[in-house]
């Protein structure tokens, strides 16, 4: 895929020019406090290079899922403060998306200034299915940077969305891939091309349906496909074992049977399960063997025997892709499975493997469990975008950048 990059834009010169940057600053909040600043940290280098080159930088991003209208709980105010800290300079926050405050602040920018627009999804046109409505918002965004402006797409976590700030602005302004997006594409291309074997993929999370397409795409190419998390219970049920009150997609049982018939030689399922009497951090627990199943309680993590089995396979891999936790890692009682898998992948990396953590909950788990980002070859900022890329889907936010 041939695209113009940030390096190309900087070579053309940006001093005194307005540059609109679409970043992914969708960080988790707890009581208004950022609990994982990973996406902000990853977004800062592109913004910093533009600032240092004298651009007037206007950043647009979303936070959470507001319903097309302002929601104080989803304001980007804490993000602006954390981004300013990361950049070591003031970051203005507009009081609106493309309204009078945003316009006034944009007109007042001087070389090297940074303006963050309020949550782009406060404007319903951002996610509209109507091309004309999205184009209206895109035109308003373009007005903020002026006729000689440019657009830098640096939010990999949203490139699978056909949205105004991701797709439509790139059809109007000269468009470039930021360093974060370019790196993500290079990494994912590496694990979908001629990879070094053994190649292991670890999938977790709650639903088989969310990962079905990536299973279909990768199972024929990998040596090992490890499945944990809530989605494992539909596979276990497909093998004929009861799973109590665990997460289950009854309509996917036949699909799982088919996957096991076709790819049973590479699919690895949990051998044992940590069963809880309730979904709570203080739940009473027991261990159940998946061959026998269980009729009471719910599975909230893979068991210790499974951790050992998975680790034995993963530590010997030369290429690893991981997306989705193995259990409810947010509760300490049910974090051992995800920690064990993560540590095994880190060990494989130390042994020379190329490892990719596929964003979303997996990236959050790495940090929540106190593991170093450097223990893995790459931690993606885009869970859904990573999966769709691996599935072979066209990502609108990338295709629109092609020249």
Which amino acids are annotated as binding site for substrate, given as ranges? 24-26, 39, 62-65, 121, 161
Give all strands of the β-sheet with 114-116 in edge-to-edge order: 92-93, 114-116, 56-60, 18-22, 150-153, 175-177
Binding residues for (2R)-3-phosphoglycerate: 39, 121, 161
Structure tokens at 189: 């291309």
Give all strands of the β-sheet with 224-227 in edge-to-edge order: 267-268, 224-227, 199-203, 319-323, 354-357, 378-379
Q: Which residues pair with 224 in a beta bridge?
A: 200
Binding residues: 24-26, 39, 62-65, 121, 161, 211, 299, 330, 359-362
DSSP string, 286-302: EEEETTT-BSSSEEEEE
- Distance (Å, whole) CA 185 – CA 52: 25
- How far is the CA of 173 from the CAs of 9, 73, 300, 387, 399, in angstroms? 12, 32, 48, 28, 15
Binding residues for ATP: 211, 299, 330, 359-362
Give all strands of the β-sheet with 272-276 in edge-to-edge order: 285-289, 272-276, 298-302
What residues contact residue 246 under an 8 Å CB cut-off, 6+ apart?
A: 230, 233, 273, 298, 299
- How far is the CA of 25 from the CAs of 43, 82, 273, 300, 307, in angstroms? 8, 10, 35, 30, 33
Q: Which of the residues are catalytic?
A: 39, 207, 360, 384
Are residues 204 and 338 in contact, defined by beta-carbon separation less than 8 angstroms?
yes
What residues contact residue 239 under an 8 Å CB cut-off, 6+ apart?
A: 260, 269, 290
Structure tokens at 126: 């951002």
DSSP state of 64: S
């Amino acid at each position: 895929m041939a695209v113009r990059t940030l390096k190309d834009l900087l070579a053309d010169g940006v001093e005194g020019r307005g540059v609109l940057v679409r970043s992914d600053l969708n960080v988790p909040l707890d009581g208004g406090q950022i609990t994982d600043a990973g996406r902000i940290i990853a977004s800062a280098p592109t913004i910093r290079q533009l600032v240092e080159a004298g651009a007037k930088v206007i950043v647009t991003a979303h936070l959470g899922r507001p319903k097309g209208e302002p929601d104080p709980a989803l304001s980007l105010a804490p993000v602006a403060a954390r981004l300013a800290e990361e950049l070591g300079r003031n970051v203005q926050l507009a009081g609106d998306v493309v309204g009078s405050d945003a316009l006034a602040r944009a007109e007042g920018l001087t070389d090297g200034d940074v303006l963050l627009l309020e949550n782009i999804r406060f404007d319903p046109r951002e996610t509209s299915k109507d091309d004309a409505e999205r184009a209206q918002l895109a035109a308003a965004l373009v007005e903020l940077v002026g006729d000689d402006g440019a657009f830098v797409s640096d939010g990999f976590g949203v490139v699978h969305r056909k949205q105004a700030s991701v797709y439509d602005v790139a059809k109007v302004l000269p468009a470039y891939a930021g360093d974060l997006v370019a790196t993500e594409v290079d990494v994912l291309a590496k694990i979908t091309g001629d990879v070094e074997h053994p190649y292991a993929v670890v999938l977790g999370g709650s639903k088989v349906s969310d990962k079905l397409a990536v299973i279909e795409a990768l199972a024929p190419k990998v040596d090992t496909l490890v499945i944990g998390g809530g989605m494992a219970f539909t596979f276990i049920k497909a093998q004929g074992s009861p799973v109590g009150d665990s997460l289950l997609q009854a309509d996917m049982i036949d699909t799982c049977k088919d996957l096991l018939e076709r790819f049973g030689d590479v699919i690895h399922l949990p051998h044992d399960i940590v069963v809880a009497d309730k979904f709570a951090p203080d739940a009473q627990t027991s261990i159940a063997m998946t061959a026998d199943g269980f009729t009471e309680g719910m599975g909230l993590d893979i068991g210790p025997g499974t951790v050992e089995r998975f680790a034995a396979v993963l530590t010997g891999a030369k290429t690893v892709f991981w997306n989705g936790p193995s259990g409810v890692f947010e509760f300490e009682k049910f974090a051992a499975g995800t920690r064990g898998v993560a540590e095994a992948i880190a060990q494989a990396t130390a042994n020379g493997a190329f490892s990719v953590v596929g964003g979303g909950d997996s990236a959050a788990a790495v940090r929540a469990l106190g593991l170093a980002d450097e223990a893995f070859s790459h931690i993606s900022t885009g869970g859904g975008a990573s999966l769709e890329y691996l599935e072979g889907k066209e990502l609108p936010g990338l295709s629109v950048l092609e020249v």
